[in-house]
Amino acid sequence: MKKLVVSIMVVVLCLAPSLLCAANKSAPGAPPVYVITNDDGTLHSYATFYVAGGMQGDPTLSYLENINTHGFGIGGGFFGTPRLAMLPSSSAQCLYVSNASSGDIAAMDISTLQLVGNFLGSTNDNGTSNGIGMVLNQNYLYAGYSLSNTIATFSVGAGCQLSFLGDITVTPLNGGWIAGMALNGNMLVVTYIDGSIESFNTANGIPISNNDKQNAAGFASAYFPDGVDITQDGHYAIFADAAVPTTVEVSDLSSGKLGPTIPYLVSEPTNVIGPGVNSATVRLSPDQSLLYIGNSQSGTVSAAFFDKNTGKISPGCASKQLKNFYNPWSYIGALATRDTGGTGTVLYAAEFGSSIGILNVTSTGTTCTLTESASSPVTDESSPGLLSIEVFPPRPF
Amino acid sequence: MRAIAKCILSFLIAAAALTSASAQVQICPPRPLAGTLVVNPLDLYSQNGVLNVDLTLQNQFGSDGFEHYCYVYLYQGQQVEAPTLRLNPGDHLVLNLTDNIQAPYYRYPKQKQMNMVMHQPPRPGTKSSDDCNGGDILPSTTNVHFHGLNVPPVCHQDDVIYTLIQSGETFNYDVQIPPNDNPGMYWYHPHAHGQATTQVDGGAAGAIFINGVIPGTQGLPERVFVIRQQFKNPNSWLPGPNQLTVNFQPAIFPNSPSPYINVQYNQPEFWRIVNASTQAFLTLQLQFTSGFQQMEVVALDGVPLQNPLYESEIDLPPAGRVELITPGLPNNEEGQFFTAGFDTGPVGNPNPPQQLMKIFGTNDLKAKLRPAPAPTKPPADRPRFAGLLTQQPTTTRSLFFSEQTVGSNGPTQYFITVNGQKPHVFHMDDPPAIVTNTGAVEDWTIENRSGEAHDFHIHQLHFLLMAINGVPVQNPELYDSFTIPNWSGSGPFPSITVRMDFRDPNIAGTFVYHCHILDHEDGGMMAKIQVNPSNQH
C-alpha cells in the first residue's frame, strides 16, 4: 500500500510541470498574453507590459518591461477615458499610448516592444486636465482631448506612424468635457461627463456629428455617463454612469444615431457591502454575455448579464471589495479581459494608486461569480495613478 | 553729472510709483507681510444694547497673487478689514452690508459659468420684489451667515436661502443675540450657495464674540486668531497652490519667516481661535523650548465646557472654534504654535503640517494685551440648550455623506442624504429634506460613506455630540461643526450621533445643514430642514 502511494506521488510529481504549463497562458510556444498599462507618470511615463500566467483559477501577472513613452502624463483624470488603443485584432501590431501632459500620442510596436514615435495634434489640442482618450480603426485614430474639447483625427500609416489630419471641437450640452470614447465601424460614440453624449460618423475620416447630442436618461438623476462600450455588431452603445447605485445605460444605434438611453440599475448583489458606488467604467465580455462594471468608489466590480439581441441588462454578480481598496489605491478605472473568447475568464482592473486587480470569472449564463485571485493585486510600480489597462491580443471588437 | 543722475533716478522712481498706483487702485486694505507681528483684529463693541456696523464686501487681486475678498470697515478714515464684533447677550447687531464685488463672467472657467448662475425662486405666496426673496446667485452675489449664533432663520437675520445681495446693493441685518445664548466665539462669513468658497477663500470672514464669563479666563491677556486659507486659483475645485494665514498674515514657513507674537514670560494667555478656512482641518499644537505643552480648552464652538479639557493636540475642523488658556512661556524659552497635519483620507485634500506662529518672550510691559471685556450682564439662569442631554428624543434620523465622481480629478458631486431618500446634488429650489416641528428633540446619526473626511454643520443650532461610531461620548458637549473621518473602505461607515434641539420657538423656519468644507457645500453637499411652529404639521 505504501509503495502504491509513493508510485502515485512520483507520477503526479512528474506530470505536474506539464499540467502547470497547460494552464499557463504564457506557456512556451504559445504567444504571450500581455497586460498593458498606461502609467500616466508626471515625470516620466511608461507603458508597462506584464505577461499573463498562472494556473487555472489562480491567474498571475509577471512584469515584463517598461517602455518609455518619451512623454509625460498627469497621474489621473476621467475614469472612462481610454488612454491605450490598438486595433481589435490579434494581428494588430501597433499600440498607442496617450501622454496627457505633453499632449502627444506615443506609438509602439508590440512585436518588438519598441517606441516608434510621438505624434502631436494641433496646437489647440490639450488634454492636461483629465487625459487624452483614443480609439482607432484600420485607417484612422481619433484622440479626444479633455481640456480643449477637441477630437483630433490622425491617419494610421505603415509602421504605426500617425499623421495629423485635423480637429473638430465638441460642445457638450452642460459644460462638460470629452471623456469616454468607443468606435465601431464608422460610428464614434463619446461621453461628456456632464450627462450628455453624442455620436459621429467617421466614414470620411474627420468625424461629423450625427446631430444626436442629447442628455442621457440618467442626467435627470445626476448620473453622468463616463465610460462607454459598443457591441460587436454596432447595435448598442452601453454607458457607465458615475452614479451611487451601479447604473448603466443602453442606447440603440441601429438608426445610425444614438437612440434615447435606457437606464438599468444593477441591483445590489448579495455578496458585497452596500450597492456599488460610482459605476464609471464598462467592458463587454468577448462573447458579450456579461457586462463588467467598475464601481470606482466602492472598490468592487459588478457583472451584469447582457442580451446582445435585445440590449437588455439584468443583474448578475459582484466581487467582494478588492484587496487594498483605500489602502493605498482608491478608484477602479478601466477593465479588460484576458481571453479573447467566452467571458474572458480573467478580468483585470486598473486600480488608481497604483496596482492591477485580477479576478476570476465564472458564469452559467444565469449566475456568475467574480472572485479576486490570490495573487491580486499586482503593483504597477511606475504609475502614480493607474486608470487605463488593455490586453493583447485584444478582445475581437 | 551726479545731480542729473539723481534727478533722473527720482523721476524714474516717481514714474514707477505713479504707474503702480494707477495700475493698482487700493480696493482692499493691504494685508500684513509674512514674518511680522500678529495683532488682534480691530474690536467693535456694542453700546446701549446695539452694535451698528457698516461693512462693504469688495474684491481685488492682491500683489501676492491671491484674490482678496475684504469686508471693509472705515475706522478713523482708514479702511480696516474684517473687524471683530463684540456684543452682550440680548444685544442687537445692526449690520449694513454693501455688496461691491466686481466679478465678471469672463474670469471664470466654462464649467463654473454653467453652474454659477443659480436661481432661488421667491418664497411661495410672496413677491420677488420683497426683501429676502431669492433671485440669481452670481459670482458677485453675497449674503452673511452668523455662524454659530442661535438666531432665527428669517429675513434680515440669519437666512442664507432667500437673502441674496447683489453687487451695488446694501442690505440691512438686525440680529438680536438671544439673551440666553452662550458666551464665546462665533464668526461671520458669506454663504451664497456656489460662491461661498471663493469669497471665504478670499478672506471674507470675521470673529464675533458674545461677552460673558468663561471660567478661568478673567483678566488674562486675550488674543484673537482668525486662521484663513487662500488659494491661487479659488475657482478651481482642485486644491491648487494655497497657504494658511493668521490674521491675514501668511504662515508659509520655511518659505518665509513665520508670523510671531510676543508674550510676557510666565503669563498664561487666553487664546480664541476660529478656523475660517474653507477646507483645512487643523491639528493644533503648542511647543515651547522645553517641550510640547498642554492647553486648557475652556470653550468649543462658542460654548464654555462643563469642565476644561487639557489637551496637547486640538483638532479643529473648518468653521470650528476653540478657546483655550495657554501656559506661560518660561523665562528664556521660545515657542511655536502649529498644525501637525490631518489625514482627510485617500481621496481627501492634503493638510500638511505647518507652523502658524513663533512665540517669543518679553518682559516689556508694553507688549501686554488687554483682557477680554468683562460681562455687563449676569449670566442667563438657563443657557440655550440646557438640559438637552436628559431630553427624550422625539425622532431619530439617519443621514449620510457620499460622493460620486467622473474621474480622479473630479468634478465630483457631493451629497448629504437622509436614509431612504435619493442622493441628490443640492439645488436652491429643493424642497426640505427634513420637516419637523418646534418642540422636537431629535437624534441624528450621520455616516460618512466616502473616502474623505467631512465636516457636519447645521445652521441656527448647536447639537450635542452623543456618540462617535456608535460609542457613547462620556461627557457630551455642544458643537455646531464636527468632523466625520473618511470611510476606510471596509467595515462600518464612520459616524457621529448628535442630538438636535428644536425646542426654541424662535427656530421656526427653513434653514440648511451641510458639510463645512465649503467646496463640498458649494458642490451640493447641503440640504434644507423646515421647522414648523409646533401648532402646524
Average confidence (pLDDT) over B242-264: 96
* The C-alpha cell that represents A246 in the structure block: 451601479
Give contacts of B488 with chain A, Cβ < 8 Å. 326-327
Burial letters B443-472, b for 16+ CB under 10 A, else e: bbbbbbbbbbbbbbbbbbbbbbbbbbeeee
Tally of CB atoms within 10 A around A241: 34
The conformational region for residue A159 under phi > 0 = left, psi -120 to 50 = alpha, else beta, is left
How far apart CA A192 and CA A172 sit, in angstroms, is 6
Per-residue confidence (pLDDT) for residue B166, from 0 to 100: 93
Burial letters B252-271, b for 16+ CB under 10 A, else e: bbeeeebbbbbbbeebbbbb
Q: Identify the closest residue of chain A to B487 by CA–CA distance.
A: A326
Burial of B481 (0-12, 13-18, 19+ CB in 10 A): buried
How far apart CA A135 and CA A191 sit, in angstroms, is 13
Per-residue confidence (pLDDT) for residue B117, from 0 to 100: 54
Name which of B93, B109, B110, B184 is nearest B145 in CA terms. Answer: B93
Count of CA atoms in the C-beta half-sphere (13 A) of B200: 34
Three-state DSSP at A170 gives: coil
pLDDT digits (tens, 9 = 90+) for B491-508: 899 999 999 999 999 999
How far apart CA B518 and CA B194 sit, in angstroms, is 9
How far apart CA A245 and CA A277 sit, in angstroms, is 6
Q: What is the mean pLDDT of chain A?
A: 90
Percentage, residues of chain A above pLDDT 70: 90
Domains annotated for chain A, with CATH where assigned, are 26-392 (2.130.10.10)
Could you tell me which residue, A384 or B358, shows the higher pLDDT?
B358
Strands in B84-87's sheet, in edge-to-edge order, are: B43-45, B84-87, B206-210, B184-189, B145-147
Q: What is the mean pLDDT of chain B?
A: 89
| Interchain CB contact of B402 with A (< 8 Å) | yes
The B residues from 345 to 374 touching A (CB cutoff 8 Å) are 345-347
Could you tell me which residue, B487 or A376, shows the higher pLDDT?
A376
Name which of A21, A28, A108, A32 is nearest A391 in CA terms. Answer: A32
Give contacts of A128 with chain B, Cβ < 8 Å. none
Per-residue confidence (pLDDT) for residue A190, from 0 to 100: 98
Tally of CB atoms within 10 A around A93: 16
pLDDT band at A14 (very low <50, low <70, confident <90, very high): very low
pLDDT higher than 60, residue B537 = no
Which H or E run contains A348?
Answer: strand A346-352
Question: Shortest CB distance from A297 goes to which of B114, B409, B451?
Answer: B451
pLDDT band at B54 (very low <50, low <70, confident <90, very high): very high
Taking CA atoms, B207 is separated from B23, B30, B247, B379, in Å, by 32, 19, 11, 21
Which residue, chain included where needed, has cell 469672463? B106
Could you tell me which residue, A4 or B210, shows the higher pLDDT?
B210
Strands in A34-38's sheet, in edge-to-edge order, are: A58-68, A46-55, A34-38, A388-392
How far apart CA B502 and CA B393 sit, in angstroms, is 11
pLDDT digits (tens, 9 = 90+) for B404-427: 899 998 888 899 999 999 888 899
Name which of B398, B430, B345, B401 is nearest B525 in CA terms. Answer: B401
Instruction: Evaluate whether B25-209 and B222-367 have a shared fold.
Output: yes
Question: Shortest CB distance from B409 goes to which of A77, A80, A242?
Answer: A77
Average confidence (pLDDT) over A67-96: 95
Give contacts of A80 with chain B, Cβ < 8 Å. 406-407
pLDDT band at B375 (very low <50, low <70, confident <90, very high): confident
Give the residues across from B217 on adjacent strands. Answer: none
How far apart CA B522 and CA B516 sit, in angstroms, is 10
How far apart CA B53 and CA B146 sit, in angstroms, is 14
Per-residue confidence (pLDDT) for residue A22, from 0 to 100: 38
Percentage, residues of chain B above pLDDT 70: 89
CA angle B414, B415, B420 (to 5 degrees): 160
Which residue, chain included where needed, has cell 524714474? B12
Taking CA atoms, B390 is separated from B55, B397, B475, in Å, by 42, 18, 13
Give contacts of B113 with chain A, Cβ < 8 Å. 175
Per-residue confidence (pLDDT) for residue A275, from 0 to 100: 59
Question: Shortest CB distance from B402 goes to which of A77, A244, A273?
Answer: A244
Name which of B138, B252, B157 is nearest B199 in CA terms. Answer: B138
pLDDT higher than 90, residue A328 = no
pLDDT band at B109 (very low <50, low <70, confident <90, very high): very low
Could you tell me which residue, A22 or B118, shows the higher pLDDT?
B118
pLDDT higher than 90, residue B5 = no
pLDDT higher than 80, residue B108 = no
pLDDT digits (tens, 9 = 90+) for B332-369: 999 999 999 999 988 888 899 999 999 999 988 766 78
- For domain B25-209, say whether CATH 2.60.40.420 is its number: yes
pLDDT band at A285 (very low <50, low <70, confident <90, very high): very high
Q: CB of A40 within 8 A of CB of A384? A: yes
Chain A, chain B: beta-carbon pairs less than 8 Å apart? 98
Q: Where are the domains of chain B?
A: 25-209, 222-367, 388-532
- For domain B222-367, say whether CATH 3.30.830.10 is its number: no
Options 2.102.10.10, 3.40.50.300, 2.60.40.420, 1.10.3720.10; CATH for B388-532 is: 2.60.40.420
In this structure, of A25-39, B105-119, B184-198, B258-272, the range with the lowest mean pLDDT score is B105-119
pLDDT band at A187 (very low <50, low <70, confident <90, very high): very high
pLDDT band at B8 (very low <50, low <70, confident <90, very high): very low
Average confidence (pLDDT) over A347-363: 96
